[in-house]
Amino acid sequence: MSLQHQKHLFDIPEEITYLNIAAQSPSFKAIYEAGLEGLKQKNRPYSITISDYFEPVTELKKLFAELVDVDDYNRIATIPAVSYGIATVANNIKLNAGDEIIVIHEQFPSNIYAWQKLADKYNAVIKTIKAPNTDVNRVKQWNESIIDAISDKTAVVAMGNIHWSNGSLFDLKTIRQKTKTHNALLIIDGSQSVGVLPFSVKEIQPDALICAGYKWLFGPYGCAYAYYGAYFDNGVPIEENWSNRLNSENFSGLTNYESQYKPLANRYSVGESGNFIYVRMQIAALKQVIEWSPKKIQEYCKSISADAVKDLRALGCIIEDDNYRSHHLFGIKLPDDLDVNILKSALAEQHIFVSFRGNYIRISCHLFNTSEDFKKLVACMSSILQKT
């Protein structure tokens, strides 16, 4: 059964057309209520028990593990940001001089800076794969270039499931097969896809998957998730906190200092991961996302945007072929002679929220949107484009 819109769960005024969840998600009512419960708990600290520091975090890890198809929740770490998760990965990789780290052109900075630092440390090379300069079979050729670039020199491939600014869909399964052939690590930033596009760790088998939590996973700003595979089982965390050690549930014995970490990825969770407010909100968010299901969300986004995509193409805009992009997030390449500032002003006047990336508009939608939102977008853009 297909999903219907869920506008009633969100507090978005009728006059607002919000097509920018890729920047920041709105909360729905269950998350808001969960946050209030967390605040009430903070108001009465005498009601907080030892189990409150641990059991909700375990529930949260189990939910994320279910979402990304991981059997053992101990492979999940709760972290504050993608940069934290990527730094943890880079902290546990040793390279040889001349090794290559493959990244995608104009990749998000949180998945670049750590690799630049690692390359400098070991005199390795950052190899950036650019998109071909064409609008015909662009993403197909881009995938082929990525796959061809992987060789015996490749130590790491670090990339997203989709490109964060335009929704270009990467062939992770084939890329993973090629990295295995050359004993290279595959590190995935799932921030713009996990939760709204089906993703299976069992199928892709990445060495690590890092996801921001405040976009498609509807968590508060300042939360993220990480899956770490077997390569990182005995790694070194970037911080040492008491709750990641064995027997940390025994408060009376905390000064019997423990040399061993809890198993697998637990060593990588951020300090104070039991945040009473954030964790409650994250649990409420993930439960709802799992209930909706990424597959059905993706289908819904495709259904409400399909007509608008056709109309915008007819107006001279370029949008990637439907089979090579995501439908929850996609880029619209504007005509070269268009004054982008005029379009920005028109959209602002109509209370239409999108992201601009140079001569591109990034559209991102969810279940709080309807086809009417896209009709409004097309009408506004048409009024400007037909004048050029």
- Residue 282 exposure: Cα atoms within 13 Å on the Cβ side: 29
Phi, then psi, of 154 in degrees rounded to 5: -75, 125
Local confidence pLDDT in tens for the 388 residues of the chain:
789 999 999 999 999 999 999 999 999 999 999 999 999 998 999 999 889 999 999 999 999 999 999 999 999 999 999 999 999 999 999 999 999 999 999 999 999 999 999 999 999 999 999 999 888 889 999 999 999 999 999 999 999 999 999 999 999 999 999 999 999 999 999 999 999 999 999 999 999 999 999 999 999 999 999 999 999 999 999 999 999 999 999 998 999 999 999 999 999 999 999 999 999 999 999 999 999 999 999 999 999 999 999 999 999 999 999 999 999 999 999 988 888 999 999 999 999 999 998 778 999 999 999 999 999 999 999 999 887 6
Of 291, 313, 332, the one marking the end of a domain is 291
DSSP 105-137: TT--GGGTHHHHHHHHHHT-EEEEEPPPS-SSS
Distance CA 7, CA 142 (A): 36
Phi, then psi, of 355 in degrees rounded to 5: -115, 140
Are both 279 and 141 inside the same structural domain? yes
Residue 388: per-residue pLDDT: 62
Of 291, 318, 349, the one marking the end of a domain is 291
- 163 and 188 Cβ atoms separated by less than 8 Å: no
Are both 206 and 319 inside the same structural domain? no
Structure tokens at 16: 């607002």
Looking at the structure of the chain, the number of domains it has is: 2
Quick count: other Cβ atoms within 10 Å of Cβ 377? Answer: 25
* CATH number of the domain residue 83 falls in: 3.40.640.10
Q: Look at residue 250 and tell me if it is in a domain.
A: yes
Are both 269 and 343 inside the same structural domain? no
Single-letter amino acid code for the residue at 2: S
Q: Look at residue 1 and tell me if it is in a domain.
A: no
* CATH number of the domain residue 316 falls in: 3.90.1150.10
Q: Look at residue 113 and tell me if it is in a domain.
A: yes
Are both 222 and 259 inside the same structural domain? yes
Are both 86 and 144 inside the same structural domain? yes
Are both 163 and 258 inside the same structural domain? yes
Q: Look at residue 69 and tell me if it is in a domain.
A: yes
Among the listed residues 157, 175, 155, 180, the one whose alpha carbon sits nearest the alpha carbon of residue 99:
155
Q: Look at residue 32 and tell me if it is in a domain.
A: no
- 191 and 83 Cβ atoms separated by less than 8 Å: no
Q: Look at residue 352 and tell me if it is in a domain.
A: yes
Of 265, 291, 317, the one marking the end of a domain is 291
Among the listed residues 89, 90, 102, the one whose alpha carbon sits nearest the alpha carbon of residue 154:
102
- 31 and 285 Cβ atoms separated by less than 8 Å: yes
Distance CA 364, CA 356 (A): 12
Are both 186 and 270 inside the same structural domain? yes
Backbone CA torsion sign across 78, 196, 334, 128: positive
- Kindly report the pTM of this predicted structure: 0.96
Are both 184 and 237 inside the same structural domain? yes
Are both 65 and 159 inside the same structural domain? yes
- CB-based contacts of 182: which residues, under 8 Å, 6+ apart? 150, 151, 152, 154
Q: Look at residue 212 and tell me if it is in a domain.
A: yes
- 132 and 155 Cβ atoms separated by less than 8 Å: no
Q: Look at residue 252 and tell me if it is in a domain.
A: yes
Are both 89 and 173 inside the same structural domain? yes
Distance CA 101, CA 99 (A): 7
Structure tokens at 212: 């921001």
Are both 166 and 312 inside the same structural domain? no
DSSP 8-state code for residue 37: H
Are both 279 and 376 inside the same structural domain? no
Distance CA 135, CA 114 (A): 31
Domain residues for 63?
A: 37-291
- CB-based contacts of 338: which residues, under 8 Å, 6+ apart? 359, 384, 385, 388
